[in-house]
Structure 1
Amino acid sequence: MAYIVNKSSDSFLYRRVIRIVPLYYAMTFLTTGLYLAKPSWFRNVVLTPEALTKSLLFIPYHIKNSGPILTLGWTLNYEMFFYVSIALFITIFGDKKGMIACLAGLSLFVLISSFVSWESYVLRIWGSSMIMEFVAGGILYYLWNHRLRTAGQSFKNALVWVGFAALIFLMYAEYVYGLSSHRSLLFGIPAFLVACGFLMLENHINIKNKFHSTLVLLGDSSYAMYLVHPFVIYAFLRLVYVRIGLHGPVFDFLGLVFSMVLVCLVSIILHRWFEKPLISLLKSMLDKRFDSRKALIKN
């Protein structure tokens, strides 16, 4: 987001909404329809008008151990809060100063929240230490833009190895600690280092290389992958894996590999033939209206 704002903050919030909302709404309504048809498939979904409204508006809520109707939407609640915060700060302070002010303001809010017991569930969520992982992403951009991008190759190689070690640690921490109260330390810092390591590899990407282009395509499909992977994995386990009746470490591993491949394929299909066309359609319908209104306000 810091990179996007530095490149162009024009219509920032509008562009982010167009990017995030269509597929999220589609998967939320799919979940709603499946729940109405087969409620036994969903253990942690509570469907009420309030739940549906807050889910669609990215407002955090907690009803009988249930969060958003599409459970994965809990991360998008943080994401949208971050986007709105950026839009607010760049409106007040301008483009580049606004992004820095946003990172500082969010850090201050998290610090205050660590000493204050908010009665509001929404404020408790927005003030959690998880927000610092978004701040860390912004800090990484400025480090990359002003220092790391022009660093020597040996230093960049060292950061790649540090990132690889951090990735191994992330898997270890997930296995040993699970969802720990020290999330920002156990997962946030290693994730920062992983992202840093991948940044050091960016100049080595050759889009003409089929392997590289496939990885880029998977990256482009990552949002669809995030939202759809529970559906694909659950369907595979229930409809295929359980019915085959093969058990043991080898078959479990093969099932894991096959389900991952299936998730990747479905995500690419969803991205290329649903997400991209839908976003293009919405942009073609809304861009002119949005730009004309913006021009009218400026005049």
Structure 2
Amino acid sequence: MLISVQALRALAAWMVVGHHFIQVFFEFDVDTPLAYLFADKGGIGVDIFFVISGLVIFLATADKALTPWQFMLMRLARIAPAYWFYTLLMALVVLAVPSMFPEAQVVPSHVLLSLLFIPAENPGGFGVYPLLDVGWTLNFEMLFYVLFAVALWVRGSYRLWVVAALLYLVCCIISPALNLASGFYSNDIVLEFLMGIVIGMLYRRGLCRARAWLPLLGIAVALAAIYHGADVPRALEWGVPSALLVISCVALEPYFQGSRILKLLGDCSYSVYLIHVLVLVAGRWVAERMGLDPYAILPVCIAVIALGAYGSYQWLEKATYRTLKRWLGVEERVIISRQKY
């Protein structure tokens, strides 16, 4: 895994944490510049994740003779166990301490659909969300994995076009025609996976190398575009700047190489994403009962999220992934790029 991408994954995860802190504690009603920035822009962490996902999946499969079945088994082994664990933990918390999540409802059919990555209306009445609401992004991820698995039947140079065609078919024709999950899959955010694939193709061709000033300029332009925003679809407003951030960081890879801390932060980012809402809501619940200021409880929440994510990565994600790969009899090599710096 590219260390620059790991660093960006970590940054994206903690941006989402900041965004949800403002939502959970203040319902986005804030009056300080930094809080407003997280409230208004923190959600872009998801877009960065999607671009990175397209990049990583393309690079991870580029030099392998994987069948679609093997690919899906490995993706499920990597993504599902931790998500299932925290979904079931969420169900237990809602049942045991209903006052902590007053809007959440544990309905067996909805829990099952959540575990199967099938979008469905949340019984709480706030849209198409799984029980662990951050899992809505994983529903898109699983769609991307299924379509990319189909694209494995063709040569690597054609996979972008196959995935693009399949995304168009599912999201622009089938989903609206059948009104799948209230049009959930019609979101243009799916285009960000394609942006990641394009970056992966450029990287393998050695076209992501540049003097430091150029990617730094790219980062500055991307941040300026994110800050000012535009009244355009999300894939343009946040997807394109996210892609520019990713390709700029990839071009700076020589300056990131060898950083174990950044690698670890990136490794833990998935668990950070999965557990942070549970921790933040628990923090709000405690703060309300003890009369604490939200910003006083924030450092405790950050520490619990960080430590919890580390433990989750080491003993839940990594351990179950290795065990499942052994049981399933499939292997996934470390990404080794042909590009030399």
- Paired position in structure 2 for 1:84: 146
Give the 3 Å change call, closer, same or farther, for CA 81–53 of structure 1 in structure 2.
same
Candidates 293, 297, 302, aligned match of 1:260: 302
Any gaps of 5 or more consecutive residues in structure 1? 291-299
The one-letter code matched in structure 2 to 1:53 is L
**Kept after mapping to 2: 8 A contact 1:224/1:267:** yes
Q: Match for 1:230 among 256, 269, 277?
A: 277
Name the structure 2 match of 1:5: 61
What letter is aligned with 2:321?
I
Shift of 1:147: 4.8
User: Offset at 1:232?
Assistant: 2.1
Q: In 2, are the aligned partners of 1:59 and 1:77 still within 8 Å (CA)?
A: yes
Moved more, 218-227 or 238-247: 238-247
Q: Computing the radius of gyration over CA atoms, which structure comes out larger, 1 or 2?
A: 1
What is residue 168 of structure 2 aligned with on the other side?
108
Distance (Å, rounded) in 2 between the aligned partners of 1:181 and 1:58: 29
| Residues 211-260 of structure 1, C-alpha deviations (whole Å, 9 max, x = no match) | x211110101111111011122223343358736347xxxx3x6545543
Percent pairwise identity: 26
- Structure 2 distance, partners of 1:59, 1:5, is 25
- Read off the aligned partner of 1:220 and give its amino acid letter: D
Deviation at 1:9, TM superposition (A): 4.9
Aligned-pair distance for 1:264? 2.3
1:123 deviation in Å? 7.9
Q: Which residue matches 1:293?
A: none
Query: Distance between the aligned counterparts of 2:97 and 2:134, measured in 1?
Result: 19
Q: TM-score, normalised by structure 2?
A: 0.69
Match of 1:65 among 106, 123, 126: 126
| Counterpart residue type for residue 108 of structure 1 | Y
Q: Give the drift of 1:168.
A: 5.5
Q: Is residue 5–residue 99 contact of structure 1 (8 Å, CA) maintained in 2? A: no
Contact kept, 8 Å, 2:216 with 2:248, in 1: the verdict is yes
Aligned to 1:296: none
CA separation of 1:14/1:107 partners in 2, compared to 1, >3 Å: closer, same or farther? Answer: closer
Query: Which deviates more, 181-190 or 136-145?
Result: 181-190
Q: Distance in 2 between matches of 1:157 and 1:126?
A: 38
Q: Is the 8 A contact 2:106 2:131 kept in 1?
A: yes
Q: Distance in 2 between matches of 1:73 and 1:229?
A: 12
SS in 2 for 1:68: coil
2:184 paired with 1:125:
yes
Gaps of 5+ in 2: 1-56, 332-341
Indicate conservation of the 8 Å contact 1:3/1:141, yes or no. Answer: yes
Partner SS, residue 188 of structure 2: coil
Aligned match of 1:29: 88
- 1:9/1:138 CA distance change after superposition, 3 Å: farther
Instruction: Tell me the residue number matched to 1:295.
Output: none
Distance of 1:117 and 1:270 partners within structure 2? 38
Q: CA RMSD in A?
A: 2.9
What does 1:102-251 correspond to in 2, within 5 Å?
A: 102-106=162-166, 108-109=168-169, 112-113=172-173, 117-122=176-181, 124-149=183-208, 151-153=209-211, 156-167=212-223, 169-170=225-226, 173=229, 182-207=233-258, 212-239=259-286, 243=290, 245-246=292-293
1:162: how far off? 1.7
1:159 and 1:200 in contact (8 A); partners too:
yes
The higher relative CO (CA closer than 8 Å, separation ≥ 6) is in: 2
Residues in 1 aligned to 2:71 and 2:114: alpha-carbon distance in whole angstroms: 22
Moved more, 101-110 or 187-196: 101-110
> Could you state the TM-score of these two structures normalised by the residue count of structure 1?
0.78
Kindly indicate whether the alpha-carbon contact (under 8 Å) linking 2:280 and 2:301 is maintained by their aligned counterparts in 1.
yes
Contact 2:176 2:186 survives alignment (8 Å): no
Residue 79 of structure 1 and its aligned partner are, at CA, apart by 0.2
Shift of 1:36: 1.4
The structural deviation recorded for 1:118 is: 3.0
2:327 aligned with 1:276: no
**Structure holding more helix per residue:** 1
Between 97-106 and 197-206, report the one with greater CA deviation: 97-106
Shift of 1:62: 1.3
